[in-house]
């Protein structure tokens, strides 16, 4: 289908997902970088009402975000296949690494994920991954993805809705109505951004409020913005936005919990740091025009005139789709043992959605490799009719 236009920014992982979907289905398209082209940004806002990317336009159809269901309706084809040795749920560092190790063991594998890279792609810079003094999250994940795509691994852009066992086979059902049958499952669903839970937040999401600063940050060039959060991700975002925005306020609920080096950088860049503060309300009809913040020590309330609000307030596990399949802890994380076994034989897990304490890209990648090796060992034992008992909890 000709005439498809995708409005993007340079570092937007979800834009890359739209493009990957279109290419996978042989759809001709053109891209427009609204982070660099202000006229194109105005055009996108006029067409969609959005101040966030991606926006895909095909004729009279306007698709906001990486809406895999709508893209599938317009351009996709049904998935067919037999029984896989393993279905990997999620395509972050853990899932992509697991795929490499599964391929090396000649396992028939498919990765199912609504995005590639997960929260790793949101990192402005990664300075603690071996082999790279500094690399953006997007560039690192692109290297992961390139390696996977060079192997005999199927990668499907879809969202897993449920996993259940039927006899000796697991059935993995997706949002697009596909069902994948497999002998083992590796869960690497990662986490999703936490939101403020304020009135009007959903209405203004993509209209000034954003949970993906690497996606939408370039749209606020020359504008005033606020960043919410006190960890490394929040302070890094404030530093990067200070390079292009007219002003940046960092709103921290208590005290800063980031590495000391980032505090010095933020101060050097002129970031206004508001400690012991919280966002009470969002203002604006069509788009965000300001926020009310409160000093949690004095109770004093202040209105900040900002056009962008970037949320970096933590993540929650993407485990809701499991519906009791495996044991979870109080934080909703998948409980695993030291060898990545879950409470269900044949189901393994790795990455930030598990109970492993270290939430780092390099740790997730290593855990993904371990999970793949454990799944391979399980298949060997299954073929020998000596499957191990469930993990002791």
- The residues annotated as belonging to the active site are 212, 215-216
341: helix, strand or coil:
strand
Q: Quick one: DSSP state of residue 355?
A: S
- First vs last C-alpha separation in the chain: 52
In a 10 Å sphere around its CB, with 0-12 CB exposed, 13-18 middle and 19+ buried, how is residue 387 labelled?
middle
Whether the bond between 43 and the residue before it is cis, its omega within 30 degrees of 0, is: no
Pick the closest to residue 346 from 105, 86, 82, 84 (CA basis).
86
Q: Are 196 and 253 spatial neighbours (Cβ–Cβ below 8 Å)? A: no
161: helix, strand or coil:
strand
Q: Are 286 and 206 spatial neighbours (Cβ–Cβ below 8 Å)? A: no
The alpha-helical segments, DSSP class H, found in the chain are 13-24, 38-48, 68-75, 93-104, 137-149, 201-204, 213-216, 232-242, 260-268, 361-383
Pick the closest to residue 117 from 17, 35, 203, 1 (CA basis).
17
374: helix, strand or coil:
helix
Q: What does the longest C-alpha to C-alpha distance in the chain come to?
A: 69
67: helix, strand or coil:
coil
Q: How far is CA 301 from CA 29, 248, 272, 304, 328, in A?
A: 48, 18, 16, 10, 40
CA 361 – CA 348 distance, rounded (Å): 18
């Amino acid at each position: 289908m000709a005439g498809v236009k995708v409005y993007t920014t340079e570092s937007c992982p979800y834009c890359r997902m739209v493009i990957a979907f279109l290419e996978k289905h042989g759809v001709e398209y053109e891209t427009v970088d609204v982070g660099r082209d202000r006229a194109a940004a105005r055009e996108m806002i006029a067409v969609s009402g959005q101040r966030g990317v991606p926006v895909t336009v095909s004729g009279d159809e306007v698709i906001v975000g990486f809406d895999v269901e709508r893209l599938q309706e317009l351009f996709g084809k049904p998935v067919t296949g037999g029984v896989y040795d393993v279905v990997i749920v999620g395509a972050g560092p853990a899932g992509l690494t697991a795929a490499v190790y599964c391929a090396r063991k000649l396992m028939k594998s498919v990765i199912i994920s609504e995005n590639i890279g997960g929260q790793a792609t949101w990192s402005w810079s990664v300075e603690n991954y071996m082999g790279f003094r500094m690399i953006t999250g997007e560039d690192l994940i692109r290297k992961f993805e390139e390696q996977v795509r060079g192997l005999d691994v199927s990668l499907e852009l879809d969202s897993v809705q449920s996993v259940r066992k039927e006899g000796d086979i697991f059935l993995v059902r997706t949002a697009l109505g596909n069902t994948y049958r497999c002998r083992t499952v590796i869960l690497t669903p990662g986490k999703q951004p936490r939101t403020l839970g304020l009135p009007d937040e959903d209405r203004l999401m993509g209209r000034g409020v954003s949970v993906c600063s690497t996606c939408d940050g370039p749209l606020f060039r020359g504008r005033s913005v606020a960043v919410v959060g006190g960890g490394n991700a929040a302070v890094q975002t404030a530093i990067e936005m200070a390079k292009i925005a007219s002003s940046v306020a960092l709103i921290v609920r208590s005290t800063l919990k980031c590495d000391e080096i980032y505090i010095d950088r933020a101060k050097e860049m002129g970031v206004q740091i508001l400690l012991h503060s919280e966002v009470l309300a969002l203002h604006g009809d069509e788009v965000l025009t300001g926020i009310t913040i409160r000093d949690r020590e004095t109770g004093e309330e202040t209105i900040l005139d900002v056009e962008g609000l970037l949320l970096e307030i933590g993540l929650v596990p993407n485990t809701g789709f499991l519906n009791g399949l495996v044991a979870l802890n109080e934080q909703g994380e998948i409980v695993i043992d030291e060898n990545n076994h879950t409470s269900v034989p044949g189901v393994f897990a790795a990455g930030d959605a598990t109970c492993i304490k270290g939430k780092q890209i390099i740790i997730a990648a290593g855990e993904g490799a371990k999970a793949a090796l454990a799944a391979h060992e399980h298949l060997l034992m299954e073929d020998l009719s000596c499957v191990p008992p469930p993990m002791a909890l």
